Homo-oligomer: A and B are copies of this chain.
């Protein structure tokens, strides 16, 4: 009796569920510590201690009906203003509270903005490999996903193909940098070129094309890598942010949308997004944690742990013979699978108790994603398996 759409979704979700079940099954046989689960982007680094301090201080000293009560659907005004000021300080932008809508994580924010923008049949462009949920989010509002094929050399956006695939029906383009699943960060030059293409095309079609920047990994970059703030390059940019990774709070479902005043039809979009937040059943982002993140704007998690994992895993896999680009951000490695069929490869990795996600889940076959937001011991435990797996494939040649 479930809806036809959901029947398809449940079927599509079965890979992830099967993996989860398989992980449990393997753990039961071999012990949890001997199963190496690289399938989930669940941060292993603890939230900064400021989070705990803020929680305790707020529930102890602030008025409880205020802390746990309803506020504007778009969020507490002081929280939104503090976030705007913080963004301005870091990015030299000029946002106010009326550019910020607090959301139930970035996933909630993306749904709110797509609900706000999409008429049935409107096109949403994504660059492969991409976070598979974008397809579902667009489908929630009967949007049509248009996929730009991957540049398997650099995993930078294929702007030539973008230019060809933008149409009068394109309502939005989603980018995700630092990227899940590749870990690449789009350079300033790439962003400038991307903006040029969008400017040209929206002029040609006479419709705004909104660039939706999905930014849960913004702060997770290694070394001196610069992550451009996209509203400064293209005025029809809408940012979807999440504290899931930057403060290790993925379960709390807290993030925000930035809708700049410069964006075409800003007022209409801002008003509609606030209403969409309510209508979709979010109502508002969770209240206590809104107040908590506003006090932790200068805090960050210790990403040196992820960096060590990255170095260890990347260097070891390269040494064994695997081929993959070194990620500059996020906590994923996107590795070429040792046979074309990435699902078959991931199946085979399971024999070494290693759980990976096949690239097809991101619209990019022939690769697999390794989420290295795990304990160092998980990586150390898995390395002999990765090595053997490579040797097995060599021996069969």
Contact = CB atoms under 8 A, between A and B. Distances in A.
Given A1-B171, A43-B69, 10 more contacts: A1-B264, A2-B116, A2-B265, A2-B269, A70-B250, A110-B281, A133-B279, A252-B286, A253-B284, A286-B289
A148 B239 CA distance: 43
A154 interface: no
Interface in A264-294: 264-265, 268-269, 271-272, 275-276, 278-289
B43 A65 contact: yes
A73 to B, nearest CB: 9
Contact of A141 (B3, B46, B67): B3
A304 interface: no
A42 B56 CA distance: 24
A314 to B, nearest CB: 23
A60 B51 CA distance: 11
Nearest to A6: B272
In the complex, which range does the number of interface residues on chain A fall in? 35 or more
A344 interface: no
A65 B46 contact: yes
Contacts of A117: 1-3
State the oligomeric state as a number of copies: 2
Nearest to A103: B281
Contacts of A40: 70
A224 to B, nearest CB: 28
Top 7 A-B residue pairs of the complex, sorted by shortest distance between their CB atoms? A251-B287, A111-B281, A107-B281, A286-B286, A2-B272, A6-B272, A136-B279
Contact of A272 (B10, B45, B47, B55): B10
Interface of A: 1-7, 9-10, 13, 40, 42-47, 51-52, 55-56, 59-60, 64-65, 67-71, 104-105, 107-112, 115-119, 122, 133, 136-137, 140-141, 171, 207-208, 210, 248-254, 264-265, 268-269, 271-272, 275-276, 278-289
Contacts of A284: 251, 253
21 contacts: A1-B264, A1-B268, A2-B268, A3-B115, A3-B272, A6-B275, A10-B272, A40-B70, A42-B69, A43-B69, A47-B64, A47-B68, A55-B56, A56-B59, A68-B248, A69-B250, A104-B281, A136-B279, A253-B283, A253-B287, A280-B280
Contacts of A118: 3
B116 A6 contact: yes
Contacts of A282: 104, 107-108, 253, 281-282
A60 B52 CA distance: 7
B119 A4 contact: yes
B10 A286 contact: no
B286 A1 contact: no
B140 A251 contact: no
A214 to B, nearest CB: 12
Contacts of A288: 55, 251-252, 288-289
